[in-house]
Amino acid sequence: MFDVPFWAPDGQRVGYGKVYEVPLEYVIESRDLNGEKPVKVLSDSRLAGSSCWLPDGRIIYVRWESPGNTGANLWGIRTTIETGEPAGKPRRITDWVGSTDSHLLTTSADGKRLALKKGNAQSDVYVAELLADGTRLKTPRRLTLDESNDEPKAWTADNKAVIFQSDRNGQWDIYKQGIDQAMAETVFASPENKSAWGLSPDGAWVFFTAQAGASAPRKLMRAPMASGAAQLVSNTEPDRRAAREWRTSEIRAQSCARLPSTFCAYGWIEPGQLILSSYDLVAGKRRELARVPDGTEFDVFPDGSGIAVALGDPAARRIRIISSTGETKAEFPVKGWSAIEHPNCAADSNGLYVTSVSQPGAATLLYVDLQGNARVLWQQKGSPDAWAIPSPDGRYLAIMGMTQTSDAWILENF
């Protein structure tokens, strides 16, 4: 895809960002006014946000300071304005700590002042007690009290601790924290960035996807909850027919039921569809279950009866229930709500916890029964996202809540 375009100082070229998603690469380049003579200025998987071109020839841009996107700074690279060719090496301009939202760059006509939006967004784990068979919620309280980004992913099998991922050490690692404790314990840490997905049916293993670098494939891994080495589950879509298909096929998520069921499923994205497969943790056998056009996210029901999948355009997103053998059992909209995300199955398998981001500047957490009837549980104003994961006994929710700030800044002498 293309990012926000920007003018060269003499008005004879247009610069823009260009993003390749798999493997991830971000390029800044420019073309003349006929759309010809493309010139690459630089390529960097950590680029983010918009750019601007100064009268002195420098292109100013935003760059993440780590693969985990834990902070962003302004950088600059000198160019020859007439041709767009790079004429120097990138140089960092600012040294901001913790800024994760620095973009919308614009410059004064003389290039001596730079205006931008600068801010910070932080995700935290909240815990709340469920009432009325999981359809009502007591006021959530914040569990993780540090200044890092923390995102809940599962519960321990004994219902006493939340499994979450955090960037507190510069990359995303996996931790657990008791709901009555102030400090977290490390479950699994490594130099790779990880996305945790949940536990095995017996609660002995935590599953996650890992990437050694922005352009490397994601690997589906599992690590023992009792500490120990991680094991590879899969590194690509298992039935690919040619190596080139990896560039358009990527493992995205995994989910398991709870004992006595041993049903597990994982999914990967190909253009226009979500592909779901079941797999046997002991025998290592995999079987494709379903292909869901416009599918986005999914979760396995705790009783192993099937999978809940979110699909469709955000404005009219629906939920599809697929059996553990791959047949569609039901499909319905969430009545009265749109922009549905993050389906997570209730502990009793009779409903779902989903998020609606249809209202500007607010994330609304809903309980939805299997006929599409919704009840509001919690709304966090000022938050762009949220999700909730129930404890195995259905007594609590672990919630991802966000806080964010942003202000307009003017820079001089840069």
Please tell me whether residues 161 and 97 are part of one structural domain: no
Please tell me whether residues 92 and 233 are part of one structural domain: no
> What is the number of structural domains in the chain?
2
- Judge whether 409 lies within some domain: no
- Judge whether 117 lies within some domain: no
Distance, CA of 254 to CA of 137 (rounded, Å): 27
What is the pTM assigned to this prediction? 0.78
Distance, CA of 383 to CA of 207 (rounded, Å): 27
Enclosing domain of residue 78? 6-111
Question: Which pLDDT does position 251 carry in this prediction?
Answer: 66
Residue 132 makes CB contacts below 8 A (sequence gap 6+) with none
Please tell me whether residues 51 and 196 are part of one structural domain: no
Residues in the chain: 414
Which 3 state secondary structure label does DSSP give 37? coil
Instruction: Please give the DSSP secondary-structure letter assigned to residue 138.
Output: P
Question: Which pLDDT does position 119 carry in this prediction?
Answer: 79
Please tell me whether residues 333 and 210 are part of one structural domain: yes
Distance, CA of 161 to CA of 177 (rounded, Å): 5
- Among 111, 144, 170, residue at a domain's last position: 111
How crowded is residue 20: how many other Cβ atoms within 10 Å of its Cβ?
14
Evaluated on CA atoms 324, 327, 330, 334, the torsion sign reads positive
Question: Which pLDDT does position 235 carry in this prediction?
Answer: 65
- Among 62, 90, 111, residue at a domain's last position: 111
Distance, CA of 52 to CA of 411 (rounded, Å): 13
Question: Which pLDDT does position 104 carry in this prediction?
Answer: 81
What's the one-letter identity of residue 23? P
Distance, CA of 134 to CA of 379 (rounded, Å): 16
- Among 111, 138, 164, residue at a domain's last position: 111
In degrees and rounded to multiples of 5, residue 130 shows phi and psi of: -90, 145
Please tell me whether residues 339 and 220 are part of one structural domain: yes
Question: Which pLDDT does position 22 carry in this prediction?
Answer: 61
**Pair 410, 380: CB distance under 8 Å:** no
Distance, CA of 271 to CA of 254 (rounded, Å): 19
pLDDT in tens, the chain (414 residues): 888 899 999 999 999 998 876 666 789 999 999 999 999 999 988 888 789 999 999 999 999 876 555 578 899 999 999 999 999 999 999 988 766 666 788 999 999 999 998 877 889 999 999 999 888 999 999 999 988 899 999 999 999 999 999 988 888 999 999 999 999 999 999 988 889 999 999 999 999 988 776 566 778 889 999 888 998 887 654 444 333 333 334 567 889 999 999 999 989 888 889 999 998 877 677 899 999 999 999 999 999 999 999 999 988 999 999 999 999 999 999 999 999 999 999 999 999 999 999 888 789 999 999 999 999 999 998 888 999 999 999 999 999 999 887 889 999 999
Distance, CA of 96 to CA of 106 (rounded, Å): 19
- Verify cis geometry, omega within 30 degrees of 0, for the bond prior to 23: yes
Which single residue is written with the structure tokens 């290592």? Answer: 284
- Judge whether 184 lies within some domain: yes
- Verify cis geometry, omega within 30 degrees of 0, for the bond prior to 260: yes
Distance, CA of 319 to CA of 370 (rounded, Å): 9
Please tell me whether residues 195 and 288 are part of one structural domain: yes
